[in-house]
Amino acid sequence: MERIFLFIYLLLSLLLCACGEIIVGKSPSESEVEDFEAAWKTVKDVYPYFKFKGINWDSIHTVYLPQAQNAHGDEIYYVLFDLLKELKDGHVELWTTGGYPVQTYRPPRSLRDKGAYNPLVIRKYFHSELRLAGNQKMEYEILDDNIGYVYISTFTDGTWINDFSTVLDYLKNTKGLIIDVRDNDGGTDLTSRVVIGRFLESTLAYPAAYINGVLVTDPTALMQPLGPFRYQSRVVVLINGRSFSEAEAFTEKMKQISTVTAVGDTTSGAGGEPHVFRLPSGRQIRVSTKDIRRYDGQPQEWNGIPPSVFVQQTADDAKSGRDKQLEYAIQFLRQD
């Protein structure tokens, strides 16, 4: 399936390029091998999960080098794609000449839960339209029995997250609060901690993280309580297999707060901090560089963040008009 997306992106790239700039027939074989070697070495130098995943990167070089030597023009994309796919890492991408990122691996839980979260089904549980905030990255309103709800679709960087203060002010007198990060595609800690800080009554340490096997977490760097008030009623964080990257780290940190319960299904399992690297020809790859851990010391990568309460929601449930995870969260918060 990923190779199909790669083919489509390559086709689009060629259509967007001027005739004199297309790659086919313009790049000598030496360039393809040079890109392959640079990609392989970059991964070898920065990738943090070889031991954890049992990957022998040197032997993989032996497998793919002949393919790179025989590649002409755009054929090298398929070699690079298959090389990077060996990492089985949802953060790893290959960028085409037109600037299109192609994900080389899709975590199994992410594939399983495709279509399980449906925003149109969510709206059936409300008597009024959901309010929008943060450049439409957040939706919020109050359910029956005075239960607050906010959906956060991403934690991408930007000042949009400052609107969370307005959202929480609207929801501050609710009996309980649902924070929905299902299908949240991740982002940055600088964004997620703006939300986390509104629920902290004391500082919270970051979980451990490693680069090249060396602990890089600063024990003196603590998440701080934020805002004019902290929300103190019970909170449910809704998660699924498509809660990705920073959405997972957000959930793990929220789970350390006594008033918070994570409900749903185990998150995607994407734990590396990715960086983009440029190859000699100008092609680009994105590779994970940091081994981010959970508070129990296990890698977030592959393992994901398990819920406190497991509730399965499938695409068939959504098609039937039900959201079982949301229903459980509502019933949970209705209890005194």
- pLDDT, tens digit, for every residue of 184-203? 999 999 999 999 999 999 99
**Would you tell me the crossing angle of helices 29-46 and 75-85 to the nearest 10 degrees?**
20
**Would you tell me the crossing angle of helices 57-69 and 75-85 to the nearest 10 degrees?**
170
Question: Are 6 and 102 contacting, i.e. CB atoms less than 8 angstroms apart?
Answer: yes
In a shared domain, residues 166 and 212: yes
Separation of alpha carbons 15 and 13, rounded Å? 5
Q: Which of 68, 87, 106 is a domain's end point?
A: 106
In a shared domain, residues 87 and 162: no
pLDDT digits (tens, 9 = 90+) for 44-83: 999 999 999 999 999 999 999 999 999 988 899 999 999 9
pLDDT digits (tens, 9 = 90+) for 205-219: 999 999 999 999 888
- What per-residue confidence (pLDDT) applies to 277? 96
Q: Which domain holds residue 78?
A: 2-106
Separation of alpha carbons 191 and 155, rounded Å? 6
Contacts with 78 (C-beta within 8 Å, 6 or more apart), sequence order: 3, 6, 71
- What per-residue confidence (pLDDT) applies to 317? 98
Q: Identify the band that residue 6 occupies on the pLDDT scale cut at 50, 70 and 90.
A: low
* pLDDT over 90 percentage in the chain: 85
In a shared domain, residues 200 and 328: yes
7-24 mean pLDDT? 40
DSSP character string of 61-104: HHHHHHHHHT--TTHHHHHHHHHHHTT--TT-EEE-TTS-EEES
pLDDT digits (tens, 9 = 90+) for 228-253: 999 999 999 999 999 999 999 999 99
Q: What CATH number should be reported for the domain holding residue 97?
A: 3.30.750
Q: Identify the band that residue 96 occupies on the pLDDT scale cut at 50, 70 and 90.
A: confident
Q: Identify the band that residue 18 occupies on the pLDDT scale cut at 50, 70 and 90.
A: very low
CA angle 120, 121, 122 (to 5 degrees): 90
In a shared domain, residues 184 and 139: yes
Instruction: Give the single-character DSSP code of 173.
Output: T
Q: What CATH number should be reported for the domain holding residue 329?
A: 3.90.226.10
Total domain count, the chain: 2
- What per-residue confidence (pLDDT) applies to 9? 46
In a shared domain, residues 63 and 121: no
In a shared domain, residues 99 and 124: no
In a shared domain, residues 18 and 69: yes
Neighbour count for residue 247 (Cβ, 10 Å): 29
At 56, list the tokens. 């022998």
In a shared domain, residues 198 and 325: yes
